[in-house]
Amino acid sequence: MQFTIGQTERACDSLGARYVVYGIHLEGYLFCKLRYSQLYRWNEKLRHYFGKNLVPCFPPKNYLAPTESMAEERRLQLQQYIQKVGEDPVISASEIFTALLKNAQQETFKIRARDILLEILLADGKSLMIDTHASHSADRMLEIAAQKVELSRQFLEHFALYLVCERPNGGYSVLKRLHGFELPYVSLWSLQDENCRIMIRKRYLDPLEDKMLMESSGGVTLLYSQATYELDRGWTTPTPELNQKLKTFQDAEMKREFLESIGKAKFYGYVLFEACSCDYPEPNTPAVVRVGSDEINCCTQLSSNRFKEISFKVNRIRCWKISLQMHDETELKPELSFEYQDSRDVWQWITIYTHQAFLLSSFIQEIVIEKLKISEGYTEMQIENAASELRTTPWNSLTALMLNYLRVMPMEDQLVECKE
């Protein structure tokens, strides 16, 4: 999880006392707004339950009227605190952690608790209508949707709900994966965009996992839905011979045969990002970015109008970061940079300029987790906590990556960094 506090607001209570409200963003989108006092009480609960030594240090109270610099320092301290709490796999999975966030999300957007009928899209444009509740979490709604398509509970962990945005050309763009504790109805409503939808998609990037899911009829339904969409929209690029074979299976609705064959197609299982630019191999190079398997694939258009395909292998990435850069003094634009070891064993920073930087970061992290799961001899994920203690996990002889480390920077140069 990648938390940032991107905005603050001043408000007054019923007695006229002034206070600051902090806008907490999750993966680049406003998630909720909280006061210092609310976060302070939350911290006290965490310390009581988990012990003082396991919970990061909380920013102390100010008893004097804060200056502008003091207010900015407080914002950065709170940002660092909530990010580090979110990094801890035990704390972040606890009811104490999730209850505050769920309640804060619902209260921030003034969503009344009520029964609702919610549409969940499949990737091919079909949809499921589920009877649910405005306060139900993504985990709960995923269970309901899975029952609709007869997906066995044992396969639930391979899928997730995503926020997507429909495009004028009939396709869609993935915005973010909803975490299990998030309230999908509230997250959707908060975007205030009639083109945004909730979609069920597979959450993994390794196509080898398809074989396990094909044991379930619901798994076949969901995989086929996503695979046919990505084939039709050009996310996947099979050879002409394979494409003809796939069309034959598709016309005959031979879903299992289709899925067994499409796994051989180039870019199968990859996520296609919207058009963006990068600084490699030349500055301001237009690029089409795909992420999947074990790589970030960039198809770039050089100044000579030649096209060049570049593959950045994730196991050659030492660290990555997200920067929020001020644009035209009014808009913050994200960019993702990673330190990469090329074929000459030279390390260099590569930057991709995309509004989907947080999503790109989350998929890189997903690849790392998948690689760690299948590597031999690993024990725990490597995470940096408040005391800077390291829990190390060997990945391979090249590198072990640290996930979700927030480096605090000024608002115009904020970083979310995954660091070795």
Predicted confidence (pLDDT) per residue in 161-177, tens digit: 999 999 887 789 999 99
* Same domain (yes/no): 291, 400: yes
* Same domain (yes/no): 37, 70: yes
Where does the pLDDT of residue 88 fall: very low under 50, low under 70, confident under 90, or very high at 90 and above? confident
* Same domain (yes/no): 104, 119: no
pLDDT (0 to 100) of residue 206: 86
Domain that holds residue 31: 3-108
Distances 259 to 212, 228, 255, 271, 394 between C-alpha atoms, Å: 12, 9, 6, 17, 34
Give yes or no for residue 406 having a pLDDT over 50.
no
Q: Which DSSP state fits 56?
A: P
State how far the Cα of 395 lies from the Cα of 385, in Å rounded to an integer.
20
Give yes or no for residue 416 having a pLDDT over 50.
no
pLDDT (tens digit per residue) in 267-289: 999 999 999 999 999 999 999 99
Question: What's the whole-number mean pLDDT along residues 116-124?
Answer: 92
* Same domain (yes/no): 57, 97: yes
State how far the Cα of 7 lies from the Cα of 30, in Å rounded to an integer.
9
Distances 372 to 290, 339, 375, 402 between C-alpha atoms, Å: 21, 19, 5, 11
Where does the pLDDT of residue 327 fall: very low under 50, low under 70, confident under 90, or very high at 90 and above? low
pTM over 0.85: no
CATH number at residue 334: 2.30.29.30
CATH number at residue 46: 3.30.1520.10
State how far the Cα of 290 lies from the Cα of 109, in Å rounded to an integer.
34
pLDDT (0 to 100) of residue 222: 94
Q: Could you say which of 74, 108, 142 is where a domain stops? A: 108
pLDDT (0 to 100) of residue 330: 59
Task: State the chain's mean pLDDT as an integer.
Answer: 83
Q: Is 23 buried (19+), middle (13-18) or exposed (0-12) by CB count in 10 A?
A: middle
Where does the pLDDT of residue 139 fall: very low under 50, low under 70, confident under 90, or very high at 90 and above? very high
* Same domain (yes/no): 152, 189: yes
**Across the strands, what pairs with 120?**
128
Please count the structural domains in the chain.
3
pLDDT (tens digit per residue) in 213-250: 988 899 999 999 999 999 999 899 999 999 999 999 99
- Residue 382 backbone dihedrals phi, psi, to 5 degrees: -90, 120
Q: Could you say which of 108, 141, 169 is where a domain stops? A: 108
* Same domain (yes/no): 61, 150: no
State how far the Cα of 144 lies from the Cα of 134, in Å rounded to an integer.
14
* Same domain (yes/no): 347, 254: no
pLDDT (0 to 100) of residue 303: 82
Q: Detail the DSSP E strand segments found in 150-234.
A: 159-166, 172-177, 196-202
Distances 329 to 22, 85, 166, 333 between C-alpha atoms, Å: 21, 32, 29, 11
* Same domain (yes/no): 119, 258: yes
pLDDT (0 to 100) of residue 61: 79
* Same domain (yes/no): 125, 184: yes
State how far the Cα of 416 lies from the Cα of 319, in Å rounded to an integer.
11
User: Backbone dihedral region of 28: left (phi > 0), alpha (psi from -120 to 50 degrees) or beta?
Assistant: left
pLDDT (0 to 100) of residue 196: 94
Q: Could you say which of 220, 236, 262 is where a domain stops? A: 262
Query: Residue 194 is which amino acid?
Result: E
Helices (H), 93-196: 95-108, 138-148, 184-191
* Same domain (yes/no): 94, 229: no
* Same domain (yes/no): 287, 343: yes
pLDDT (0 to 100) of residue 149: 92
* Same domain (yes/no): 98, 130: no
CATH number at residue 226: 3.10.20.90
pLDDT (0 to 100) of residue 264: 92
Question: What's the whole-number mean pLDDT along residues 164-191?
Answer: 91
pLDDT (0 to 100) of residue 243: 95
Distances 96 to 39, 45, 48, 85, 106 between C-alpha atoms, Å: 12, 7, 11, 12, 16
Give yes or no for residue 386 having a pLDDT over 50.
no
